[in-house]
Amino acid sequence: MEERPRMLSVKDLIVCGVFGALILSVGFILGSAIIMATGIPATGSIANMLAATFIAVIGLKIVDKFGAAIVMITAEGAISVPTLINGPPGLHKVLMLFMVGVVAEIVLLSTKRSNSGYLLFGVILPSLTVFLIYTFLVILGLPGEENLRGILIPLLAVSAVMGSIGAYLGLKVYDEKLQHLSVVQSLKSQ
C-alpha cells in the first residue's frame, strides 16, 4: 500500500508561522541597523542571513514536511511588508518570499531533506533572496536599485557564505542540543 503524503497540520502551520515571525524579528534587529547606516536595500543580509538561515533550519527540522518552507518563508514575507527587511516596504515581498519558499522546497525535496540538503539550502536561499530583492527593485522601479547594483555580486557571495554557516550551525544545534528536548518533541510534526 502506498504511503499518503504527510500534510501540514494546524500545529505545523502555527509552528511555521512562529518561526517565520522569529526570522523576521531577528532580521529586523540585526538588519535594520545596517540598512539605515548604508541606505542600501538588502545589505542587512550581511548580518541577518546567518541568523535567519540558522532559525529556518531548526524550524524546518522540527516541521519536517513538504510545504513547511513555503509557509514559514511566506509568513516572514507577509509580516515584513511594512518593514525594510527583505527590501522596501510593499506587498511584493509576499510573492518574492513565496518564490523563495518554493525553491527551498525543491532543494529539500530533491535532497530528501538530508543534512546536505539543508546545507545546500543555506547556500542557495540567502543569495536567491538578495537576487530577488534586486529584481523586484528593478521591475517595480523602487528606490535603491542603483545602490544595490554596484555591490550585488559581492553581496550574493557573502549571503551564500553566511547562509551556509547559519545552516551548518542550525543543524549542529538541532542535532546536538534541541532534538531530544521535550518542548521540541511536542512541536515536532508526526
**For the chain, what is the domain count?**
1
Q: 159, 49 in Cβ contact below 8 A?
A: yes
With respect to residue 5, please indicate whether it lies within any of the assigned structural domains. no
With respect to residue 78, please indicate whether it lies within any of the assigned structural domains. yes
With respect to residue 80, please indicate whether it lies within any of the assigned structural domains. yes
Q: What is the mean pLDDT of the chain?
A: 91
With respect to residue 120, please indicate whether it lies within any of the assigned structural domains. yes
Distance, CA of 105 to CA of 115 (rounded, Å): 14
With respect to residue 31, please indicate whether it lies within any of the assigned structural domains. yes
Q: Among 5-19, 36-50, 111-125, 158-172, which stretch is predicted with the lowest mean pLDDT?
A: 36-50
With respect to residue 2, please indicate whether it lies within any of the assigned structural domains. no
With respect to residue 179, please indicate whether it lies within any of the assigned structural domains. yes
With respect to residue 34, please indicate whether it lies within any of the assigned structural domains. yes
Q: 177, 59 in Cβ contact below 8 A?
A: no
Q: Which pTM was predicted?
A: 0.91
Domain CATH code at residue 135:
1.10.1760
Higher-scoring residue by pLDDT: 107, 146: 107
Segment 94-121 shows an average pLDDT of: 97
Which residue range is the domain that position 62 belongs to? 10-187
